[in-house]
Every structure is written in structure tokens, then in C-alpha cells.
Chain A
């Protein structure tokens, strides 16, 4: 009887350990979040590093914003579409699963946290108006606000996914 219990305990421990390993395996949504986070970081990192800041106060500077936002947006959309399709093909069952209550909570908390940088950015923009900044500078400040808010949203959701709740 004790031998039977002992072997059951061993199986139980193996399951427990393998269960823990499986916890760390990323879900479909978490992978998509990682992709979005990295795509945002790389695409807008490129944007802010290569933007011609010397002409930001001119009309050309405003058009440069528009011209650079097109490839940035297309890159993010392209990367998201390709990776989502790739992960969906690899794990079709997970891809078709509806968002459950834990994921919904993570979603809401991340969006809530992103509200603060968004508000701060809008306030910064309003204050900047009193200093007579150019249209190009305002545009870039607004873009930076949205990007930071998005990074906070997706980043915090990734943190919550890893933490488990």
C-alpha cells in the first residue's frame, strides 16, 4: 500500500513540476503582445532616431512626419499580420480561443495604466502651446505620447501575463 502511495506521489511530483514548466510557456496572446511591443520599439525607435530634427520647425518637417509615419505604420501592420498568422498556424487551437476572464482583467489593467502617460502627454502638449512650438514639434510630441502610452499598455500586460494574474 505504501509502495503504491509512494509511486503515486512520484507521478504527482512529476506532474507538478511539468505543470510549472508549462506555466512559463507563452500563450498565443502573450506572443502577439511581445511582437507588438518589439515592433513598436523598433519602428518608432527608428522614427525618432532618424527624424530630421533640424527641419522640425518648417513645413518640410511636418511633411517628414507624415512621410515617415507611413513606412512605420506599414511595418508594424506587416509584422503583426505575419507573426499573428505564423503563430495561428503553429497553435490554431489557442489562436481560436476567446479571451477569458483573467486575460480580460490583464487587458483592462494594462489599458488603465496607459491612461496616465496619455494624460501627461496631452498636458505636456497643452503647456507646449504656450511656448509657441512649431506644428512639427507638436506632432512629434503627440506621437511620442501615443507611443509611450502604447508601450506602457503592452509592456504592463506582458508583465501581468508573466506574473500570472
Chain B
């Protein structure tokens, strides 16, 4: 499985945001639940716009949601 060169904390942030479901986040961002699941698992790299939208939902800067992996 090809992994994105960055990790994310979406799962934790969802939990901290009142146990938000993948579907709820998808609705807020404008993507499907399956797309959120794929992003969470690092299978799919979202566009910059979707990445910003996700960060905006949690009220966090982009680098608190997505972290670049050096190696």
C-alpha cells in the first residue's frame, strides 16, 4: 500500500471534537466518508483545499493536523 509522505491526527482530533464521525467530518468538508477514511489511513493525499478545510473544521493550523515525515 502506498503511504502518503505525511501523517495526520484527524482521528484524534475527531475524538476530541465530541467524537465526530468520519461522515460528519466529510459533510463539513464536502467529501465522502470513504475519502475521510482514506485520508486518515494515509492512503490518499488530499488536495490543499481539502486539507485546509479539514484543519478549519477543527480550528487548527494545517501543520497541527498534517505532519510531514522527513524519511
In the complex, are the beta carbons of A15 and B15 less than 8 A apart? yes
Q: Of A53-61, A93-101, A120-128, which binds chain B?
A: A93-101
| Residues of A contacting B: mostly | helix
Asked if B32 is an interface residue, CB under 8 A from chain A, the answer is yes
Residues of A within 8 A of B38 (CB): 23, 102, 164-165
- Interface 1/0s, chain A 58-80, versus B by CB < 8 A? 00000000000000000000000
Say which size band chain A's interface belongs to: 20 to 34
The answer to whether B2 and A23 have CB atoms under 8 Å apart is no
A132 at the B interface (CB under 8 A): no
Report B-chain residues with C-beta under 8 Å of the C-beta of A101.
31, 35, 46-47, 50
Contacting residues, chain B, for A165 (C-beta < 8 A): 2, 38, 43-44
Additional pairs, 6, CB under 8 Å, beyond known A94-B32, A164-B44, A165-B38? A12-B12, A15-B14, A19-B40, A101-B35, A101-B47, A165-B2
Chain A residues within 8 Å of B32, by CB: 27, 94, 97, 100, 102-103
Closest CB-CB distance, B33 to chain A, in whole Å? Answer: 7
Is there contact, CB below 8 Å, between B34 and A23?
yes
Asked if A100 meets B15 with Cβ closer than 8 Å, knowing A19-B40, A163-B43, A165-B2, the reply is no
Q: How many angstroms from the CA of A19 to the CA of B22 in the assembled complex?
A: 8
B30 proximal to A (CB < 8 A): yes
Whether A89 sits at the interface, judged by CB under 8 Å, is: no
Interface of chain A residues 72 through 114 with chain B (CB within 8 A): 94, 97-98, 100-103
Any A CB within 8 A of the CB of B41 = yes
Known: A100-B31, A101-B31. Contact between A11 and B15, CB under 8 A?
yes
Distance of A75 from chain B, by nearest CB (Å)? 29
| Residues in B15-59 with C-beta less than 8 Å from chain A | 15, 19, 22, 30-35, 37-38, 40-41, 43-44, 46-47, 50
